[in-house]
Chains A and B, each alone.
Chain A
Amino acid sequence: MKIAVCIKRVPEMDVRFKIAPTGTSVDETGLKWDMSDFDGYAVEAALQMTEKLGSGEVVVVTVGPDAAQETLRKALSMGATRAIHLKADPIPFDNFAIARALTAELQGGGYDLILFGKMSIDSSNGAVGPITAELLNLPCVAAASKLEVANGKGTARRELEGAAELLEFPLPAVVSIDEGVARPRYPSLKGIMAAKKKPLEVKPAQLGDVRMTVSTMALPPERPPGRILGEGVAAVPELVRLLQTEAKVL
């Protein structure tokens, strides 16, 4: 069984971001980087599938700058077989261009399954997976919360608003992974050492023309400091009012 997992290097989200002086990107000073969360679930799902079968290859692919190789190595230390780095610096915002580059690499690779995270937690578009599926003309299930494969077929579960679907599809297929499929394993030191020796190919990313860009980045309006509205039952009407008008959650 040959599985490809497309992953992305993203910044750690548990920080207060600052905007770079150019105003078109986030200030990268002091940022820590890691694999996008959903991509981690996808890598774990792929590893569990090949482990269950007792054989198979998990190939991780990324479009990104040189630093993205760290992210590939992380996947290798979890247990992926080999890695492919499609060089692009910076990573374009244009999801079609990225899909184009991935398609050029994945086409003809003989993959039974191509996994993506349901969306990358930085650009948050959730598009690269399904677009790649269209370009490869493969069946696609997006945001699967459960995934199993057997005998050339796949079964998946998708969560809708207040309901869920069970799906069946033939392989090869493209699936994007949501939370709930698998919790990414913590790489053992053994895995980290082994990862250093696994193959990592570098190629230029064939992006083509880029038609979607980020023209500016800005911080959302400041969240007003929290306040105590009052004491006891008397404060309840004010709370409800604020939840409706200010926070807009009611």
Chain B
Amino acid sequence: MTQNVLFLLVLVAALGFFSYNAQRLVRYLTTGHDERRTDHPWTRLRNVVVIGIGQAKILREPFAGILHASVFWGFVVLTLGSIEILARGVFPAFGFDRMLPTPVHGLFLLSQELFAGLVLAAVAVLLYRRLVIKPRRLQGDKVHSGDAVFILSMIAALMVTLFLSATFERVVEARHSAAFQPISSVLAMMFSRVPSGTAGSIATASSWIHALLLLAFLNYLPYSKHLHVITSLPNTFFSNTSGPGQVGVMRPMDLEAEGVETFGAADVKDLSWKNLLDGYSCTECGRCTAACPANITGKPLSPRKIVVNVRQRTMELAPLLKGDRAEAAHAVLAGGEGDDAGGGTVGERAGHRLLDTYITEEELWACTSCRACVQECPVSIDQLDVINELRRNLVLTESRFPEEIQPAFEAMERNGAPWKFQPADRGRWADGLGVTTMAEFAERNERPDVLFWVGCMASFDDRAKKIAVAFARILNAAGIRFAILAQEESCNGDPARRMGNEYLYQMLARQAIETLDRYRVTTIVTTCPHCFHQIGNEYPQLGGHYEVIHHSTYIERLLEQELVPLRTENGKQLVVAYHDSCYLGRYNDVYDAPRETLRRALPVVTVAEAPRNRSRGLCCGAGGGRMWMEERVGKRINVERTEELLGTGADALAVACPFCMTMISDGAKALGSEVPVYDIAEVVAGQLTR
């Protein structure tokens, strides 16, 4: 009796303490600004089921993935047993066997047994991996394995105590069929000599220890990176990184709002509650950092660090703002590992902020916005969101940015292009091709079937102009009535937006939308994935709604419909390695169209795949405005990627983006390789019969 009362007290105290921390953590989330994340609940629920419960993202890495999934699913199933154990601590007569028919209860027992065994085995392997194999991504960023080893050991202890309890209960009395408790029954046989009384005590003690460990585990979570156990499913629900809606779209900003003094984020209070929840949910697994092209090539950027810093700063600032003096004095709650957490006096910490104190400019500018980090995160954190908001603050509020991008800003503002080329020269690439402009169509009171948005690269860069020429030839050969804007086209604003200059971006975007709407454009095809993503997916924020197709998809359609007359004789066997463009692939899921296009254009081609391909493709290094920035640290990203592509032994490399074209071509030159780089449009155009 006293046992049960004692247990009840412990249970109440443990649950009480847990709720106290839980509500504090929830309150700290309100440090960030409000944001609606409950739209499209069914899509969100689907994400929870697929990514959360289905462990879809964590299984991208099969070995560690299966191990973690085992532990996770194990825990889900074992929760049922835990409920029984806790309930029995207060009401000893409680038991599922009283409530369920024997076969069902048997299944329940079996599930507990098998999953406990699975979890124990998985934990053993995971511990070995942590302590002996020491994979690279589990090091660095001042994360150390202490927390992880502690938790793994705790889990192991929980499983062991489960087995001890079940085993010694069987030693006392085998109440259930051995078939339902295969492991415990075997173990019980080994301990069958233990006297009943002792066995009973061991069973009870194990049960108690298990219950206490469980409650301790529960209360340890808010102090550990294992908080993700609680937050990951809600985090996945509230996340937008796998939909609903288009992924990879930057946050809209209202620049006209009255009385707004700062733009973007300098500190966690400028971020949204969802960013802070991301901070809570980080498991420090490091998959994001392991996939980050900047990190891989030695830059200081680590997406994991960004998220951990958000958490650390939240734990530093939120208590101060919410009046939690005890916590403020010494931030312990989930501060994360590492020396930065909660250091310094209250006064000092008030002078800190996320930007500069934790996250440096150098880290932020190293990002190519390739979205590999977001793609990999098993708990649906949006690391890129934080980077973008901090960049916005740097540019819009503090006017701090690498000086080499100022000419790009100025050129976009004055020339409508990120380089000092004359706007009047747009459209010169089309000389002699019989290309009609929108203005000419309008003069004749006619409308084209589609607008070919050329983009600044293909308009001005000599190499990229060839892509536009190739595509125009394909369109002509297929008899498509298309128009170009020529001198009326100006930069869609993507580089400005990615670099954080939302003001310049909106100016350029509105201008472009105005031009497009003036001509009542509905359908656009473009050879540049950045234009494609920007106009198709982000312009709706500013009222521009168009159907935008990337030329790889467009050409594939034309080829499917057999509208393009191609030579069908077999050429020589060609191995072509295709490089996935980030804004086409990870941002827009276009992986197959370019490959299909290559296959249809060159029937004897073998499309070689780089080890990091499709959604794992390594960025060429030009995104996020980095095309206009100096790369001063570490290995050049484009060289890293080109090396990988050349490593396939391909005869030629194929791209579907003019920026990738420049970067991969430069990479090949730097490596002294003569392997040619083509845009897929050039490959197709090279096979035209007319």
Contact = CB atoms under 8 A, between A and B. Distances in A.
Q: Do chains A and B touch in the complex (CB under 8 A)?
A: yes
Nearest to B487: A30
B396 A188 contact: yes
Contact of B399 (A15, A34, A183, A188): A188
A185 B395 CA distance: 12
Contacts of A189: 255, 263, 395-397, 502-503
Interface in B390-423: 395-399, 401, 403, 406, 409-410, 414-415, 420-423
B405 to A, nearest CB: 9
Contacts of A15: 422-424
A192 B503 CA distance: 10
A126 interface: no
Contact of B414 (A14, A185, A187): A14
A188 B397 contact: yes
Interface string B251-278: 0000100001111000000000000000
A32 interface: yes
A188 B409 CA distance: 12
A191 interface: yes
Contacts of B401: 186
Contacts of A188: 395-399
A12 B395 contact: no
16 contacts: A12-B415, A14-B414, A15-B423, A15-B424, A16-B424, A32-B414, A183-B406, A185-B399, A186-B399, A186-B401, A186-B406, A186-B410, A188-B395, A189-B503, A190-B396, A193-B260
Contacts of A16: 422, 424
Interface in A1-39: 12, 14-16, 32, 34
B396 to A, nearest CB: 4
The 9 closest A-B pairs by CB, nearest first: A188-B399, A189-B396, A189-B503, A186-B406, A12-B414, A32-B414, A14-B420, A190-B397, A15-B422
A187 B398 CA distance: 9
A188 B406 CA distance: 12
A122 B656 CA distance: 42
Interface string B410-441: 10001100001111100000000000000000
Given A14-B420, A15-B423, A186-B406, A191 B399 contact: yes
Given A185-B399, A186-B410, A189-B395, 5 more contacts: A14-B422, A186-B399, A188-B397, A189-B396, A189-B503
Nearest to B409: A186
B310 to A, nearest CB: 24
Interface in B216-258: 255
Question: For the complex, would chain A's binding face be called helix, strand, loop or mixed by DSSP majority?
Answer: loop
B366 to A, nearest CB: 20
Interface in A182-202: 183, 185-193
Interface in B483-504: 502-503
A190 B263 contact: yes
Nearest to A18: B424
Interface in B118-157: none
Interface in B521-543: none
Nearest to B264: A189
A240 B422 CA distance: 30
A12 to B, nearest CB: 5
Residue in A12, A185, A189, A192 whose Cβ sees the most chain B Cβ within 10 Å? A189
A115 to B, nearest CB: 21
Nearest to B415: A14
A140 B410 CA distance: 32
A166 B349 CA distance: 47
Contacts of B503: 189, 192
A187 B397 CA distance: 9
Contacts of B422: 14-16
Contacts of B406: 183, 186
Nearest to A188: B399
Contacts of B398: 188
Contacts of A191: 399
Given A12-B415, A14-B415, A34-B414, A190 B261 contact: yes
Nearest to B260: A193
A192 B397 CA distance: 10
Contacts of B423: 15
Residue in A15, A16, A187, A192 whose Cβ sees the most chain B Cβ within 10 Å? A15
Contacts of A193: 260
A183 B502 CA distance: 23
A15 B395 CA distance: 28
A80 to B, nearest CB: 15
A189 B261 CA distance: 9
A144 B422 CA distance: 31
A16 B424 CA distance: 8
Interface string B358-399: 000000000000000000000000000000000000011111
A32 B421 CA distance: 13
A187 B399 contact: yes
Nearest to A190: B397
Contacts of B409: 186
Contacts of A190: 261-263, 396-397, 399
Nearest to A189: B396
Residue in A15, A16, A186, A190 whose Cβ sees the most chain B Cβ within 10 Å? A186
A228 to B, nearest CB: 16
Contacts of A12: 414-415
A208 B262 CA distance: 47
A210 B605 CA distance: 75
Nearest to B403: A183
A183 B406 CA distance: 10
Contacts of A32: 414-415
A190 B266 CA distance: 14
Contacts of B424: 15-16
A34 B255 CA distance: 23
B270 to A, nearest CB: 14
A223 to B, nearest CB: 14
Contacts of A34: 414
Contacts of B262: 190
Contacts of B395: 188-189
Nearest to B425: A16
A192 B263 CA distance: 12
A183 B403 CA distance: 10
A15 B416 CA distance: 12
A16 B422 CA distance: 8
A31 to B, nearest CB: 11
A192 B413 CA distance: 14
A118 to B, nearest CB: 20
A12 B424 CA distance: 13
A15 B415 CA distance: 9
A71 to B, nearest CB: 13
Nearest to A12: B414
Nearest to A192: B503
